[in-house]
Amino acid sequence: MNIITLTTDDGFALPALHVPSATGTGQPLVLIQEIFGINAAMKEAAQAWAREGFEVLCPDLFARQQAGVDLDPAQPEQFQQGVALMQGMDPDRAVRDLDAARAWFVAQGRGEKVSALGYCLGGRLAVMMALRTPVSAAVSYYGVGLEELLPTERVTMAPCLLHIAELDAFVPAEARQTILSRAALQARMPAHVYAGCDHAFARPGGEHFNAAAAEQARVRTLAFLRD
């Protein structure tokens, strides 16, 4: 696990956490952070996916505001700092920065099939990547604001898997229904709702961690990305 520097389309030097696959040559995966920066939870997630056979690259999407952000969501002040950083981030610029990570894999000879996976804010950005970039597949864990993002008609986009928490305070029931109905319009956008689960159910050690649901989501994610 180390930090490398990506060069974005506008010449910005973007730090990114790089974790080689634990099983040799790994399947390329762009991992997309929550609003808390590349903190302990994101490093743990990167290592977990590397153990599954992925080569992981996790760009520091807050680096344009403040590099090296590492926040603890259990601390109210740090939680609010994460919200402020998210609000100060240009999502369109973030997608182009994430695409620099996809392009890095291609330039390194890893092939054209690069997947993306994100949590929370990253879950929204993963869907944006599926819609706008040449990523081969995307996985969204409890993405926020998808009801405003998903198209109202079938479009050409990468296959995209949605993991949705039934009790997600950031995704009310009406929004969830909109997400499900719009996902159903696409050719390959399976959406799973995890009963009794709240936002961030797959973050180990988090307030709403649900081991059974996290495992089910992991199995579904692996089957989807290996298809």
Q: Is 102 helix (H, G, I), strand (E, B) or coil?
A: helix
Q: For the whole model, what pTM was predicted?
A: 0.96
Band (180; pLDDT cuts 50, 70, 90): very high
Q: In this structure, what CATH number is given to the domain that contains residue 103?
A: 3.40.50.1820
Q: Is residue 197 pLDDT above 90, yes or no? A: yes
Catalogue the active-site residues. Answer: 168, 199
* Predicted pLDDT at 124: 98
* DSSP at 207: T
Number of domains the chain is built from: 1
Asked whether residue 125 carries a pLDDT value surpassing 90, the answer given is yes
Percent of the chain at pLDDT > 70 equals: 100
The per-residue pLDDT for range 126-175, each reduced to its tens digit, is 999 999 999 999 999 999 999 999 999 999 999 999 999 999 999 999 99
Domain around 107: 2-226
Mean pLDDT of 39-45: 96
Token representation of residue 115: 């997947």
Q: Quick one: pLDDT at residue 23?
A: 83
1: confidence class by pLDDT, cuts 50, 70, 90: confident
Q: Give the confidence band of 25 by pLDDT, cuts at 50, 70, 90.
A: confident
Token code pair at residue 63? 């680096």
Query: Measured between alpha carbons, how far is 182 from 137 in angstroms, rounded to an integer?
Result: 18
Exposure of 76 by Cβ count < 10 A (0-12 exposed, 13-18 middle, 19+ buried)?
exposed
- Give strand pairing partners of 5: 15
The residues pairing with 15 across neighbouring beta strands, listed in sequence order, are: 5
In this structure, are residues 146 and 179 in contact, taking their beta carbons and an 8 Å threshold?
A: yes
